[in-house]
Amino acid sequence: MSERFRVSGTRSSLGVEASSSLHPIHGEAGGLTGYVEGDVTGGRFDLATPPRLRVELPVERLESGNPLYDGELRRRVDVRAYPEIVGEATGVEEQGTPGRYRVRGDLTFHGVTRQVEGEIELSAPDDRTLVIEGEQTFDIRDFGLRPPKMLMLRVHPEVRVRIRVVAEKE
């Protein structure tokens, strides 16, 4: 029987790492929302019924700790017009290692939706909680954004995104 788990905004996080001509840039965000639906047994998805996953993040929650960078990000992304980043799985396949999955899905950022694919790791620390972790590198130009240039600082277009989703059974 399919179970539904709600993403915990206080326990889930997204991290972003970008490089620049001067130094690395790190960003973090909490406040993720969404759900995981599926048959889970022993910390593994039963793929007889395809699991459904959806994660949403308000862009304004993403912060680097540098108000100049954060303001430039919000301006470039146009947070008023495109307030959320949304990821939704369209396919899940088990990899050779238990608890590792290849996920295909749609990622919407800055009003652009792209099909993406990557690996996640699923664990269940108890019978009411799922933890999903993954990491992927994206080119922001694929989402219609030009890398920022400010004085001598040039931000490179590739960003590494780490996600940790903690979902609790409803």
Supply the DSSP string of 51-83, one letter for each residue: -EEEEEEEGGG-B-S-HHHHHHHHHHHTTTT--
Q: Is the pTM of this model over 0.85?
A: yes
Closest CA to 31 of 6, 47, 17, 11: 11
Architecture in CATH for domain 3-169: Beta Barrel (2.40)
Confidence class of residue 43 from pLDDT cuts 50, 70 and 90?
Answer: confident
Where are the domains positioned within the chain?
A: 3-169
Is 150 a residue whose pLDDT tops 80?
Answer: no
Q: Rounded distance, CA 1 to CA 99, Å? A: 19
Interior/surface letters 76-97, b for 16+ CB within 10 angstroms, e for the rest: bbebeebeebbbebeebeeeee
For the chain, what is the mean pLDDT?
94
Q: Rounded distance, CA 66 to CA 51, Å? A: 38
Confidence class of residue 69 from pLDDT cuts 50, 70 and 90?
Answer: confident
Is 153 a residue whose pLDDT tops 90?
Answer: no
* Mean pLDDT, residues 55-65: 95
